[in-house]
Amino acid sequence: MINLLILNIALAITWAALMGSFTLPSLGVGFVLGSIFIYLTGSLYSDSARYFSRSVKWTKLVLLFLYELIVSSIQVAREVMTTQNKSRPGIISIPLIVRDEMDIFLLTNMISLTPGTLSLDVTADRETLYIHAMFADDPDGIRQQIRDGMERWVIEATE
């Protein structure tokens, strides 16, 4: 069985080579055209439907993370630029639904990359994550936001 992601990357590189330009936009166009080619010839591959559903889920994960990144960046920038001190930093424990190491790794890195939050530790039994939050006024709200946001997105993308 052929790995369709590798095939799509090879098609993108081939497109960039044919265009004579190995730039990110050229590779992006090649990747999109490769995806269209794989979709049109999907009956030749047994796992093409799974490939496209996973692609949609991973794209959703990236876009939702970028949205969270922008919103939290604005919130932290607003806090830094104003004279009022609204931040109430604190350490919060978050019970984890994910148990796989790679899922936890992805979740903790997404949390740490989001301005205003930092992953501190995961317990040895992988049941609890400790984070530092710049705005820890409502720990239950933060737990709910992570559970219904990033953790659910990671579960959807990696299932």
**pLDDT tens per residue, range 46-81:** 777 788 888 888 889 999 999 999 999 998 999 889
Q: Are 107 and 98 in contact (CB under 8 A)?
A: yes
This prediction's pTM: 0.77
DSSP-derived letter for residue 88 is B
Break the chain into its structural domains and give their ranges: 4-46, 51-158
- pLDDT tens digits along 11-36: 999 999 999 988 999 999 999 998 88
